[in-house]
Amino acid sequence: STRFRVGSVAMALTSAAAGLLPERGRLDLDAPVRTYVPEFPEKRWPVTTRQLLGHTAGIRDYQAEAEVLTSRRCNDVREGLDIFAADSLRFRPGTRYGYTSFAYALASAAMQAAAGEPFAAFMRREVFAPLGMDRTLPEPLGELPERATPYLRFNGMTPAPHDDDSCVLAGGGFLSTPSDLVRFGFGMLDGTLLRPETVRMLWTPLQLESGESTRYGLGWFIRAVRLAADAPAVPMMGHGGSSVGGTTSFMVFPEQRVVVAVTTNVSGADTAAIAARLAQAFIAPPIP
């Protein structure tokens, strides 16, 4: 029940909203994002919500440590847009892949406008509540019961400095638990939240104009994972999360219906290796 910083695993959580709103006719993923966020400055090329969620929009990522280690509090997802709104796009949308948390800040502003309510409230009511994810929430100010204290590996273990990710909530600002993440994974597999065709859309990697696959869908890395030397590779959809005082690995194996989540309150921990070992125990054939 202990809550951890799950970092960019928030992108996978956000993908559920990106599926629900189009299903309800509220959001067109391929419309220019300024359709929903007209206050965002016009750029050289139009940007769509699909491109934002797939990291092909050209929005920049963090440029300085001060943007990562910040105490700035955003009470609305639109408040953080000024961090990058004045910057030019790094490339023409659709031509390259460029991972960025800020793209999710802009995408969440579009989803908020489409939903007609605060993004965090929509996530709580339409995503977390139906799945029983009652330990998952935006990281609040101040103390929170049953929250892991974040640490850095420095001269042993050092308490991590304060960092506020509320301005990039959709890209890295949620607290959660391994159990809640597993509930979310099975919610995607079972059709509890989304239609099967919507899940397939989220789990389909985008293609660049060159035809090259990004190996990233909308909020999900798409991989083929070999869990044993003599075993065939199996499809895996998932996400990792690295934050100040937290590391998370979240893996969904659709064909085997296995979901694994590993969280820790230490930066730079190799949770991916632990998650792979756990998945191997459920999926790989037993050693004779």
- Quote the domain boundaries for residue 12: 4-283
Asked, for residue 97, whether it belongs to a domain, the answer is yes
Both structure tokens of 192: 């509890």
Q: How do residues 101-110 score in pLDDT, each as one tens digit?
A: 999 999 999 9
pLDDT for residue 285: 62
Helices (H), 127-207: 169-172, 178-190, 196-202
Q: How many domains does the chain have?
A: 1
Distance CA 95, CA 253 (A): 29
Mean per-residue pLDDT, 268-281? 94
Which has more confidence, 63 or 200? 200
Give per-residue pLDDT as tens, 247-273.
Answer: 999 999 999 999 999 999 999 999 999
Has residue 288 been placed in a domain? no
Which pLDDT score is estimated for 54? 99
Crossing angle of helices 9-23/102-115, nearest 10°?
30
Specify if 106 maps to a domain: yes
Which whole number is the average pLDDT over 138-154?
A: 88
- Indicate whether 74 belongs to any domain: yes
CATH code at position 168? 3.40.710.10
